[in-house]
Structures are given as C-alpha cells and as structure tokens.
Structure 1
Amino acid sequence: MPIGLERKIVNRSPIESLENNSYFRIRVLWPELLFLGFVLNDFIELSAKNRRHFWDSTQARLRLFQSIIGECLENTVGESKFRLLKGLLTPNFIGYYQNFVTQYIDHLNIEFLKMDKAKRLAHVSIVAKRVANKDAKYIKIKSQIEKIAMQDGVSLSVVRYPGGYPEDFRW
C-alpha cells in the first residue's frame, strides 16, 4: 500500500495499487495526449544543456512515457496506420513547438468530442498528423488568437479558444 493512502481511499479512487506500486487511471483526449508526447521531444532536447550528466534519469522517464503513448497509439490505430505515423514521432527540428498556439489543441479536442466513438477511433491517425504538422487550420486559428490578443492587449497564452467544449459527451 502506498505511503499515506488508506485502503478505503484507494478503493474509491481511480488508483490501482499493488503492494509497492500505484497506477493512476485518467481520461485524456487523443489530441492533448499526442501534443504532450510531441512537445516532450522539444523539452528533452532543449533541457539537455542543463542536465547533470548523460545518464540523467529525467530524460529516460520522459522517453518511457512517450513509448507508452506510442504503444497506445499503435494499439488504437493498428500496425499499418502506425507504420505511416512513425515518422511524425521524430521531430523535424528542435523548437518546432516553441510558441505553439495551444488553443489549436482545444479546437482539435472539441472537434474530436463531436464525433461518435467509432468515428473518433477512425480519426486518431488524422489527429496525430494535425498535431504534428502546422496545417492551414492551425495557421488560421493562430491568426485569430493573435488578433484577439492584440485587440485585448494580452499575451497569446491568456486568450481562450472561442469554441466551447460540449457539455455532454461519451468517452
């Protein structure tokens, strides 16, 4: 049992607990999870100059997390589609996601939630491509967010995506 967790709390929470390990279950949308996996490439490489040594465990843990995302992605889209997506997992250059307008991820999340479960599964590979490549839709949303930020005199990160998340959706 993890230190500080009582058995009755563990039984009511989304935690699977073995004697020495705890596993948390969360629900996350594919666009958000893929963005996190992709942006970690930038983080790992840009933080390399500050690492204590090449065997620093932080980068290894992040790569392990990315590998878990990759396994889930392959299991979701299938081996043939995953083979086509593998090239996206390695960034074109470091800093690609620097100053990325994350409101685009909100847009992708909202569009994803509008789909039924079967359509979402069919579109995971498309979402991966959209997160990995700044397409025309990204450029359009970035322009809208920049315009709002300029009008309001705030930074881009303060501007909320104009579209709203659906009140009710099925995981």
Structure 2
Amino acid sequence: MLALKNTENLTGALISGDYWDLDELCTALHRLTGNESRYLDWQGARMRLLRTMHDLRQAYQGSKNVESVGNGLKRDTMKNHDFIASQNNIYFSTEILWPELIFALVAINDFINLHKKYEQATDLDIHIVNARKLQALIAEALKKNMSEETYTFAMQYVITSNAFVEEYAIQYIDLLNISYIDMSKEQRTQAFESIVHNIIVQTKDYHNFKSKILSETNKTKSTIHDFRMNIEYPESIEW
C-alpha cells in the first residue's frame, strides 16, 4: 500500500510502498506528463515531476530505503491452504523535500487536465486515479502540519484549479528547498504554512522572483525553463 508521512525533522515526507505501488505511481506520472515536445509551456513543471519520478524509481530499484513489513498472512492460513509463504513483504521508500511535494500537488492537477484534453481521458482513467492517490496522500500529510483554516483555504485553491504551473519559474522551488534544508525543525514548523501559501497561491514573493528570472532569460534569449541558477544541494540531508 502506498503511504506518505512526515520525516522526523519535518524536512520532507517519506513515500513508501511495495515494488508495484511505486512502479504504478511512476507509470501514471510518466503517462500524464507526456513527451518532451507536447506541453511546451509546462516543461519546467514536467522536469520537476520527472525528478520526483527518478527518486521513486531509485527507491523501488533498491537504491534508497528497504524494509520488511508484515503482510498479515497467518500460519493457520498457510496450513489451511496447504502452502508456505513469507509473512513479510518488502517495502521501498524515499524521502522527498516538502517544497517539492507541495509543488507536485499543484503540478499533477495541470497534467491531469492536459491529459483529459489531449487524450480524451475521464476521471476514471487509471493513470489519473493513481496520480490522484499521491495528491490525496500529500494533502493528508499537509493537514497535520497546518491550521485547519489555512489548510482548508489551500486545498480549496488547488481543487478549484486556481493554482497552476504553466510557465512556472521552477528555480523558485530550488530556492525554497535550499532555504528549507537550512532551517531547524522549529523554524520549519513556523515557516511551513508560508511556504505552502507561496507555492500554491503564487504570492508576490514568487512573482518578484519570476520577474528577475525573466529579466535574466531576456538577456540570453533562453526560455524560463532552461535558466539555471548556481545552486548546490548538500550531499546529505537530515530528514
């Protein structure tokens, strides 16, 4: 079963599941994001989701965390059905930074809408259903980190599709990630709602940042998706 929970220091969330859970999720995100040339105005968001998919694939290929989890199979059941099997399943997991997950919550909405438009898909499309599962898990975990009022406002904003990631300055997520990593757990707790608000509502802080990025891209005649900031992530993160 796919699951998502806060890491100990609130740095991010741990996404876990068996091989098929994580493979199913990656397949859904891959299908929704389409090929590189299809959704040109969403290339930044697409690259961001591909990075999350890469982490998930690394997890179920055994490069991240692996644990043995009881599967509920009892000895009496095996005896009654005359077979022997393991009483544990192997679960894989990986940590994802919270700003990255909040962005994914919004970005998935856009790609679901694009998938519906160009593939004539419905809400019952299996890839949409599986992607919605991740959104639901992110939303449920967010609920534990926010006041009821702020959480309700943020989720309503996402549900009504007022939040969108077309031509998004994805460098802003890098900025938030680095800033968030450098915080203490107490600072993260205090800043959490503000970070959610900045990403989902796209506040003045975001738009000022995007204006600076656009000013730089105009000098080089490059797209907002291709602009690279000189940012380095730490080799290890205290999750």
Residues 85-137 of structure 1 deviation map (CA, whole Å, 9 limit, x = unaligned): 3323324447x211111111111112212211121123222111110112122
Aligned match of 2:215 in 123, 147, 171? Answer: 147
Runs of 4+ residues over 6 Å off in structure 1: none
> Which stretches in structure 2 are left out of the alignment for 5+ residues?
1-17, 21-60, 70-85
Structure 2 residue identity aligned to 1:139: H
More strand by share: 2
1:93–1:117 distance in 2 versus 1, CA, 3 Å: closer
Q: Identity across aligned pairs (percent)?
A: 27
In the other structure, the counterpart of 1:15 is: 66
Aligned length, in residue pairs: 164
Tell me the distance in 1 between the aligned counterparts of 2:211 and 2:123.
Answer: 40
TM-score, normalised with respect to structure 1? 0.78
Q: CA deviation at 1:145?
A: 1.2
Residues 1-24 of structure 1 deviation map (CA, whole Å, 9 limit, x = unaligned): 969xxxxx96x8513356696543
Query: Cα RMSD between the aligned structures?
Result: 3.0
Q: Please say if residues 154 and 200 of structure 2, whose CA atoms lie closer than 8 Å, have aligned partners that are also in contact.
A: no
> Which stretches in structure 1 are left out of the alignment for 5+ residues?
4-8
Aligned match of 1:112 in 180, 184, 203? Answer: 180
1:80–1:136 distance in 2 versus 1, CA, 3 Å: closer
Q: Please say if residues 30 and 127 of structure 1, whose CA atoms lie closer than 8 Å, have aligned partners that are also in contact.
A: no
TM-score, normalised with respect to structure 2? 0.58
Aligned match of 2:126 in 57, 62, 72? Answer: 57
Write the mapping of 1:15-164 to structure 2, written as runs, cut at 5 A.
Answer: 15-16=66-67, 23-49=91-117, 50-52=119-121, 54-77=123-146, 79=148, 81-93=150-162, 96-164=164-232
- What's the secondary structure of 2:202's corresponding residue? coil
